[in-house]
A and B are shown apart, each in its own frame.
Chain A
């Protein structure tokens, strides 16, 4: 029963819902943006995330985590989407943890995972090198120097890169495939430029100029890190899809409520069939995304070989649904929808960044088509 939540999952969703709507509502993001907060997220909130166990959700119990799955992550991500919560949860607790879990050897996992699980460290994956997501086009290079490595290259769209304690950098190693390296943000030769994005979240540009790394910086779980990278990206894509779903739900709820209240021509605008039908079509679009998002996390949790297709379907469909939701949200709120005072614009901006993150709808539809030989 992948589509019906268990009792534990329902409890988790409810507690995440009340916690985030109380401690991290949209107003918090607005404050962080307006006061140009140096971190771009609330450290106090992050501490609460750790106390609630969120930061260790995907970390096995042996490494101080909760050993939960992507379904549970998805439930938290939906609430993050509803509230536009700024948090390194996606970058660190989902993507970086999965990269280490799949890419690191036992000793590295034992060293890195417990501190991520407890929220004492923040990590992020540095993969993209171009404006569009092309994880197969990696030019950053690490060459062996003595017992260690020397890393050179540049990365972009590194989410929460300016606050990460360490980066997991995807680069060409000395083999044919890919390699991943753990690099401290403050290591000599690492230059991090904080970039505030349109959605008031942060994504750094990072340059690596002959950065000297020890032998143990290389994640040594496998000779080729491609599979671990794929796992980390898919975890991130599924989580981003869930965030888009929660965001679409919130925008839709607010828009339908506005249709019931706003009067024009002496009628509530929700009485106009032109708007009713658009709202009903949007409802259907969001329901398509809801089914696809739940399916993706359940396939990941099952460890299915074809989980990536379920993830691609979810990322493509949730991206399309949330795009429609925010566009209709702004349009149906009329002039108010265009103001910074109303939250609609903030939702639209976040939706756009999430679409782009780890491949947009077209990227994933194309991947699926290629896999089906057309």
Chain B
């Protein structure tokens, strides 16, 4: 039990420690992909400040504050971890390590992993030594993920894996992969899937980056040609991978919808005013665009409140778990709308693809990238299906 007094003194100590140890450069919001610290075998820190911040946090287990100490975590209670998160937000501290190992695989291992698996993998995630990627989607298994075809042949003490994954984020930079494979070919769609882990340096693994409409992307195609996977690297039961995957997907969905915790973008109206100017009445120089932006800002404010409300209801145990689909849907559609309006406010200048003036098409590339928001992590249509079925209880949904 942590008493209120303990928490209060923990808050003071935490704040003092953060103030002393978090370099000023690490107290600015992460605005571009390049500013994340991802870790891994081949990682080079972008700056001394990034290295210092990472080392100091990792030494305390605070890359994963709530994980148990024996697995490299900080061993904090939920309350204490809440205090740390709150104080970090208050000071604007960056997260020291961005990692699919922390956000996705770790929680699944803590729930489904064997003791040996936890001891082998979790500390390396906590210390940023191994960078993970996620092998779920396949060319013919997108929204309908359970129809995946990558095969794992049972060879006694190991599997031989053959097949192809797609949309594997950072596969070309990752050290290990957590991967869904079909291991029981006769079983039904959802029950023949296993959840396995293997080294991306294994013979037979190749990756190819995918160029997106935004001109760049973290995504890859990943090919497996007779890859040997030891059976000790199976998580959960053979054929029980769908359960692990589903658990992990809810983490992903919350991550994508939790834009409330990310750096707040500059208000759209203000950005548009800077781009287009205002008239003698102080109004944006484009009345129709102004009206659309004003409506957007109302919806954006309401969405932030909806996220906040969901957080409070979840704490009070009054939330419907399927509500995360409504948040994902609203968040994705709003972000697309924001960037449609922003690119319109930018006019022809914002459409210059490679010039210095446009920062190499930064606004245009971001606008194009957001089109994926309603596709990744479950399409908007799939979210609407989930709402229809699990919240509205509509027939046949």
Give me the interface of A with B, judged by CB distance under 8 Å. 1-4, 256, 259-260, 267-268, 270-271, 273, 276-277, 279-281, 283-284, 287-292, 294-295, 312-313, 316-317, 320, 361-362, 364-366, 368-370, 372-374
Contacts and interface: CB of A to CB of B under 8 A. Distances in A.
Contact of A374 (B283, B303, B384): B283
23 contacts: A2-B312, A4-B312, A256-B392, A268-B396, A273-B397, A276-B392, A277-B381, A277-B384, A279-B394, A284-B329, A289-B302, A292-B301, A292-B302, A313-B301, A316-B295, A316-B298, A368-B297, A369-B283, A369-B284, A370-B282, A372-B267, A373-B273, A374-B272
B313 A374 contact: no
Which 5 residue pairs of A and B lie closest in terms of their CB atoms, listed nearest first? A291-B305, A280-B387, A271-B396, A276-B388, A365-B294
B291 to A, nearest CB: 7
A290 B308 CA distance: 12
Main secondary structure of the interface of A (DSSP, over half): helix
Contacts of B318: 4
Nearest to B387: A280
Given A3-B312, A260-B395, A288-B299, A362 B388 contact: no
A40 B383 CA distance: 45
Contacts of A373: 269-270, 273, 278, 282
Contacts of A279: 388, 392, 394
Contacts of A365: 291, 294-295, 297-298
A281 B318 CA distance: 22
Contacts of A369: 269, 283-284, 290, 293-294, 297
Contact of A4 (B267, B298, B316, B397): B316
Given A291-B302, A369-B293, A270 B395 contact: yes
Given A281-B384, A373-B273, 12 more contacts: A1-B316, A4-B312, A259-B394, A260-B394, A287-B330, A288-B305, A361-B295, A368-B298, A369-B290, A373-B278, A373-B282, A374-B272
Nearest to A271: B396
A132 to B, nearest CB: 16
Contacts of B14: none
A29 B185 CA distance: 64
B86 to A, nearest CB: 16
A166 to B, nearest CB: 36
Contacts of A364: 298
A365 B272 CA distance: 16
Interface in B312-356: 312-313, 316, 318, 326, 329-330
A185 B231 CA distance: 87
B385 interface: yes
A291 B330 contact: no
Nearest to A319: B298
Contact of B299 (A256, A260, A317): A317
B51 interface: no
Interface string B72-91: 00000000000000000000
B155 interface: no
Contacts of B267: 372
Interface string B187-198: 000000000000
B391 interface: yes
Contacts of B60: none
B306 interface: yes
Interface string B249-262: 00000000000000
Contacts of B272: 374
Contact of B273 (A316, A317, A374): A374
Contacts of A320: 295, 298
B309 interface: yes
Contact of A3 (B298, B313, B397): B313
Interface string B277-291: 010001110000011
Contacts of B302: 288-289, 291-292, 313, 317
Contacts of A267: 396
A79 to B, nearest CB: 20
A354 to B, nearest CB: 17
A276 B385 contact: yes
A142 B397 CA distance: 63
Nearest to A314: B302
Contacts of B293: 369, 374
Contacts of B313: 3-4
Contacts of A292: 301-302, 305
Given A1-B316, A260-B394, A271-B394, A276 B384 contact: yes
Nearest to A315: B298
Contacts of B299: 288, 317
Nearest to B271: A374
Nearest to A313: B301
Given A260-B395, A365-B291, A373-B282, A290 B316 contact: no
A353 B329 CA distance: 30
Contacts of A268: 395-396
B269 A374 contact: yes
Given A1-B316, A369-B290, A276 B309 contact: no
Contact of B306 (A260, A280, A287): A287
A372 B306 contact: no
A291 B308 contact: yes
B336 to A, nearest CB: 14
Contacts of A281: 329, 384
A289 B301 CA distance: 11
A365 B385 CA distance: 31
A256 B391 CA distance: 11
A303 to B, nearest CB: 19
Given A284-B387, A288-B303, A373-B278, A3 B309 contact: yes
A365 B296 CA distance: 9
A1 B282 contact: no
Contacts of A271: 394-397
A277 to B, nearest CB: 5
A30 B385 CA distance: 37
A313 B296 CA distance: 11
A270, A279, A288, A294: most-surrounded residue (chain B CB, <10 A): A288
A118 B157 CA distance: 82
A372 B387 contact: no
Contact of A284 (B297, B305, B330, B385): B330
A280 B388 contact: yes
B2 to A, nearest CB: 20
Contacts of A288: 299, 302-303, 305-306, 330
A258 to B, nearest CB: 11
B286 to A, nearest CB: 10
B117 to A, nearest CB: 38
